[in-house]
Structures are given as structure tokens and as C-alpha cells.
Amino acid sequence: MVLLGSTGSIGVNALIVAKRFGIDVEVLVCGNNIQLLNKQIAEHKPKVVVVANKEDIAKVNHSQVYAGEEAILRVIEESSSELVVNALVGFLGLRPTLKAIECDKKLALANKESLVACGNFLDISKIQPIDSEHFGLWYLLQERPVSRMIITASGGAFRDWDINKLKNATLADTQKHPNWSMGQKITIDSATMVNKMFELLEARWLFGEGEYDAIIETQSLIHAMIDFKDGSTTAHFANASMQLPIAYALDEKMNENILPHIDLLKVGSLEFREIETARYPIWQIKDELLKNPRSGVVINAANEAAIEMFISREIGFMDISKIIIKAYKNFDDLPSSVEDVFLVDKEVRAFAKKSFK
């Protein structure tokens, strides 16, 4: 397989599963964590390695190392692997997604931004989602009429905060996730609930038109639910681990025990909460956005620009959602081609950065 984003949490878990199933790793692609990359090289012995920056090439313990986006696209095209696992974070994961599909490879996709920004132009039949929420929906789907698909959210770092204190939240505060440790950007997205908005858009592209929603389940033991038209509801329970969806993406006939079962007697009880717009302002555009999913490129670009400004302390935490909503309301001319997606992305980023100057 070709693994994009090998040193992130999904990449690390993908390598654990690949080793278990005896899957060869042809290509490793990572950002800046060269120390971990070198450990992965020693264990998995890839043929080719790609890093983000040229200056890091000399630090990599491998004879065939390249750097940059063009190198990623080239190694995907030249690889003999039938499977590409895209665990890159952000809009930069879109071109590799497009390249993998163009090369007729199976795509195990964890890069949310690909579907959010460009879902209208992707061949969904080539994609196996490895987000736990979409895996859960896929796992639950049957040949019965569906009324509504529901995914769950943890609520992020600020689910129990006094709402009045959110305007003073710092970058360090956003990283204190109640349930697990993730990368910086996705943890911020969890705190704003943008992450769940993205996942609803992904679900819309993956499973088609219909009714989608999300609720908070504080323990992250239920990942998805489906309301069927007959009045019944099914839920996907599993311990929080990316290894289960990754295992199915790597081996469609997967029949091994990957996770310990949840002991409901030990769990005792579950808590569900509504996603409220006072705490998560972005939620006020959720329904409208799902009716206009091509606007995902605007939401994504504004979010990435706003996060950059938040990290550099140019704006406050609550300004992230304000910038996204402002951009969403400002951009009506939506992309009609893949090329347009990249143009709109650039325009929205420029608008977002100017809007709070």
C-alpha cells in the first residue's frame, strides 16, 4: 500500500493493521516527524519515502527520498500498489486523492477535506471511508428504507465550559480533548464542531441525498446510528480505535477480532446532548449547508485560514466560526469543475484573512 500521513495517529494505526495482515508498505509519506518516520522505515522497509520539506531529506534513513506535493503525486502514479491510504490533514490532501482515483486505485480515505471541498467531483465508488463515523454508517446500512443517518460527537474540549468563557479560550485550551489525543488542527475543529460539520458533508457525498444529523455522546462509544422508516434505530458501538475501520479498508473480507467488545455493564450508562448553537455557532448553518453541499469548499478554506489566524493569535477562538459563517454567506458562485475548487479555495482564504483585519 501507499500510506500518506504515516506519522499521524491514523497512519500509525494503519501500519499496525498492515503488519498484522501481512500487507507490504511500498511508500511512506509524512510531514515533519522524521524521528518517527525513521523508526517506521526500519520496521516496514518501504521502497520510497516522501517528506514535506527538502531540508529534511538528508535526515531520512533511506536511499530513495523525495519532498513536496509533486513528489507525492508522482509516487502514487508510479506505485504498483492497488491501495492508497490518505491520512493527510487539510486541503493539501485533495490532489493526492484526485491522483489516486485517476490512477484507478482503491482509496482508503481519512482526509476529510477531500470530500468536503470536492465531493461533487470524486468517484465515490473508489472510496472506502476510514473515519469511525462513516465506517459505522456503512456497517449499519441494510436493504431497508432509511429515515435518517446520525453520527456522534464528543463535544470537544469546551463541551463543559462556561459559555461566557469561550471567547478567552487559548490554543492550549483547545488541545485538551476529553476523550483522546489527536493532531492540533483536528482538535481545534472538534472544539468548534467544524469537524462534525465536515463529517456530515462527507456522509452526504458518500451515502447520497437524505437526512443527516449529529448529537453529542460523551464517551465516544457509539459512532453512528440509523433511523429506519419502520421506526427502529440501530447503533454502532465500538471502543474508540481507528484500527477497526482501517482493517476493513485493507481487507474487505476481514473476519478477525480487532477490538475488545464493549462491556455495557461496566459502562453503566451513556449521556447524550444536543449540539447547541450558543456553544457551537457553526451549527446554525448546518441544515442549509447540507442542502448546498458544494459550499463545502468555502467552509473548508475559511476554516483553515481562520485556524492559521487563531494559532498566530490574530483572532480569538469564537472568531473562527464567525469567519466561516461570514465567508459562507459571501460566496454564492460555487465550483463547477475540479479546477474551480482550487480557485474558490484561494479566493475564500484571501477573503477570510481580510475580513478580520
Cα 93–chain centre separation: 10
Q: What percent of the chain has pLDDT over 90?
A: 87
For 281, half-sphere exposure in the C-beta direction (CA atoms, 13 angstrom radius) is 13
Answer whether 2-130 and 134-355 agree in fold.
Answer: no
**Helices within the chain (DSSP H only):** 9-21, 34-44, 69-78, 94-102, 112-118, 132-140, 171-174, 184-192, 194-207, 243-250, 264-267, 286-291, 296-311, 319-330, 338-355
Nearest-angstrom CA–CA distance, 38 and 62: 8
Q: Which residues 6+ apart lie within 8 Å of 96 measured at CB?
A: 4, 72, 73, 76, 84, 86, 88, 111
Overall pTM surpassing 0.75 (yes/no): yes
pLDDT, the chain, mean: 94
DSSP 225: E
CA atoms lying within 13 Å on the CB side of residue 119: 28
* String of DSSP letters for 164-191: GGGGG--HHHHT--SS----HHHHHHHH
* Collapsed DSSP state (helix, strand, coil) of residue 52: coil
Please give the span between the terminal C-alpha atoms of the chain, in angstroms, as a whole number: 45
Residue 152's DSSP bridge partners are 215
- Residues 229-233, mean pLDDT to the nearest whole number: 97
Q: State the average pLDDT over residues 216-233.
A: 96
For the chain, domain boundaries: 2-130, 134-355
| Residue 242 DSSP one-character state | T
Grid cell digits, residue 226: 440509523
175: Cβ–Cβ under 8 A, 6 or more apart, which residues? 157, 184, 187, 188
Q: 134-355: what fold? A: Rna Polymerase Sigma Factor; Chain: A (1.10.1740)
Residue 357 has pLDDT above 70, yes or no: no
Helix axes 194-207, 184-192, angle to 10 degrees: 90
Residue holding cell 478477525?
256
The H helix count followed by the E strand count for the chain is 15, 12
Lowest mean pLDDT among 137-141, 196-200, 241-245: 241-245
d(CA 232, CA 236): 14
Q: Which of 321, 345, 342 lies closest to 331, judged by CA?
A: 345
What are the residues facing 272 on neighbouring strands? Answer: 217
Q: What is the pLDDT of residues 171-187, one digit of tens each?
A: 999 998 877 677 889 89
Q: What is d(CA 244, CA 239) in angstroms, rounded to the nearest whole number? A: 9
29 contacts 4 by C-beta, under 8 angstroms: yes
pLDDT digits (tens, 9 = 90+) for 44-95: 999 999 999 999 999 999 999 999 999 999 999 999 999 999 999 999 999 9
Rounded Cα gap, residues 132 and 256, in angstroms = 18
pLDDT at 228 over 80: yes
pLDDT at 256 over 90: no
Domain 2-130, CATH homologous superfamily name and number = NAD(P)-binding Rossmann-like Domain (3.40.50.720)
Residues of the chain with pLDDT > 70, as a percent, come to: 99
Q: State the amino acid at position 34 in one-letter form.
A: I
Determine the longest span between alpha carbons in the chain, in angstroms: 61
C-alpha to C-alpha distance for 31 and 19, rounded to whole angstroms: 22
